[in-house]
A and B are shown apart, each in its own frame.
Chain A
Amino acid sequence: MTFGRRFFLIGLFLVLATGQRADEFKFPLKSNSVRFAAIGDMGTGDKPEFETSEQMNEQRKNFPFDFVLALGDNLYGGHSPADFEKKFASPYKALLDAGVKFYAALGNHDDASERFYKPFNMNGANYYSFKKGNVHFFALDSNYMDPKQLDWLQKQLESAGSNEWKICFFHHPLYSSARKHGPATDLRLLLEPLFVKYGVNVVFAGHEHIYERILPQKGIYYFTEGSSGQLRTGGLDRSSITANGFDTDRAFMLVEVADDQMYFETVSRTGKVVDSGVIQRQQTAGAAKP
């Protein structure tokens, strides 16, 4: 086989193996599906944050999502009442007014007092869980993974239904190819065994100011979306675990969980779809193919 032919086939293999082609992709918009957006590292109060939220509004016309996962660094810098307004309430006003709920995780720039801010739906806790349809969400505080939180997570995962999706979200990515920080391997040592044992399906994180989709690791899908306000242009150093990535503009994710399939689309500030695909719910832990 010639080098060119082999190269072409490898490329084709990667496209086919890592998800549907963008031109095939379409959200099913099923009546009983769970639809949400995911944003991370957004709380700057600067123009790009506003522009990204405007694009979220725009996308919501065709993809009516009900809630948003905020993956941490919800407020950079100060945490005065004016900061809450400038960096969250104002940029997301249209979504909040439309009844879209936000569920926040704490990042390293967040203050613990944010958990009492009602629009973040943390109910005073820095880690919590909630259910939507057939999806069980677990919001973790990756700044402070003490034994108490680990015990809580284990019990929560243990009691979660075997037929529901288990989605964890927190700030520090367990897997990452970004140049700035890299993966939180210390955290991975503690969390991954639980994720594998109890069949966590998908994990969302932020912290790195890029978007990256990771090839399944031990059967689990990992996404990093830390560019919804901040951006580190060229910050992604694609590696053998990168399925797809985007590091040239702000972005956010749109997700629909319909029965046993999770449809996702990553959209840039300008409305360009930079990644999309469909994930089949793993029937048992570690079942997803790398």
Chain B
Amino acid sequence: MKTRLRSASQIRSAVLMAIVVFGTAPIHASAGQDPQPQNPQTQTQQAQNPSPDLKSPGFQEFSDCVQKYVQLHKSVESTVPKLKSTNEPELIAAHQKILARKIRAARAHAKRGDIFTPAAKEAFLKAISSEFQGPQAPHAKATIKQGAPLKRIHLHVNEIYPESIPHTSVPPTMLQNLPKLPEEVAYRAVSSDLVLLDVKANLVVDYLPGVLPVEAMSGQ
């Protein structure tokens, strides 16, 4: 078998050589490589569109609010049996359900804007604008368009994220320019809303409605 393959390989090399000699090489010289997106760092500099200031008062206020929420989350989680990897999805579902119920009860009066405060909103709008107006915008918009859901979904603070609704990826280049989050929470793009989700309880912690560019949603 090995011998046959080696001989096939030799024949292949000879034929390849012959083809190159016959002049097909120029056809392939520029084929097979996808056009490369430019590095966003370079592009940002070129466009004089500086990265958002992660130490801005708005982002600082947001991070403080997130920390307070995470403290509450941890405090509630400590009263629930620790979830470990299991063969029984019933245990996973039960853990999530209990955690969500307790967190909802602990912040029963939570409302939109508790975490995305007005100052935080301003900082996020600046960062999102920088992302979607800079040279990297086509890539970020493509990320939003790639995912689902793209139709309007009405979210509510302190309620469960609908389990059958898929997540749209938050543009990765945008994530690099937003405040880092503890593991309990994550940003989510849901149609044109930027959501802060409790990933363990699957709860909507807060959201900024309509801040992701609407034009990115068109055509879907």
Contacts and interface: CB of A to CB of B under 8 A. Distances in A.
Interface string B10-51: 001001100100111001100111100101100000000000
Contacts of B90: 81
A147 B95 CA distance: 28
A185 B22 contact: no
B200 to A, nearest CB: 8
Count class of interface residues, chain A: 35 or more
A12 B20 CA distance: 12
B159 to A, nearest CB: 16
Given A113-B92, A116-B85, A185-B37, A6 B24 contact: yes
A207 B166 CA distance: 12
A111 B165 CA distance: 10
Given A10-B27, A124-B84, A78 B163 contact: yes
Nearest to A82: B89
B148 A108 contact: yes
Classify chain B: how many residues form its interface, as a range. 35 or more
A188 interface: yes
Contact of A117 (B23, B24, B85): B85
B79 interface: no
Nearest to A120: B85
Given A81-B90, A113-B92, A113-B96, A147 B85 contact: no
Contacts of B186: 112, 144, 146
Given A10-B24, A123-B85, A144-B175, A108 B147 contact: yes
Contacts of B148: 108
Interface stretch (A129-137, A175-183, A249-257, A265-273): A175-183
B30 to A, nearest CB: 9
A147 B180 contact: yes
B176 interface: yes
Interface string B140-179: 1011011110000000000000011011111111011000
A117 B93 CA distance: 10
Interface in A74-122: 77-81, 83-85, 108-109, 111-113, 116-119, 122
B176 A77 contact: no
Given A9-B24, A124-B85, A189-B136, A109 B166 contact: yes
A143 B169 contact: yes
A18 to B, nearest CB: 9
Nearest to B13: A16
Candidate in A17, A108, A182, A183 with the most chain B CB atoms within 10 angstroms: A108
B34 A116 contact: no
A122 to B, nearest CB: 8
Interface string A234-266: 000000110000000000000000000000000
Contact of A142 (B23, B169, B187): B169
Nearest to A144: B186
A290 B29 CA distance: 9
B32 A9 contact: no
B54 to A, nearest CB: 10
B110 interface: no
B22 A9 contact: yes
B87 interface: yes
Given A10-B27, A182-B146, A17 B85 contact: no
13 contacts: A9-B22, A10-B19, A13-B19, A17-B16, A117-B86, A124-B84, A144-B175, A146-B175, A181-B146, A188-B37, A189-B172, A207-B146, A240-B33
Given A80-B93, A108-B166, A184-B146, 7 more contacts: A12-B15, A13-B24, A24-B4, A79-B89, A109-B166, A112-B202, A216-B32
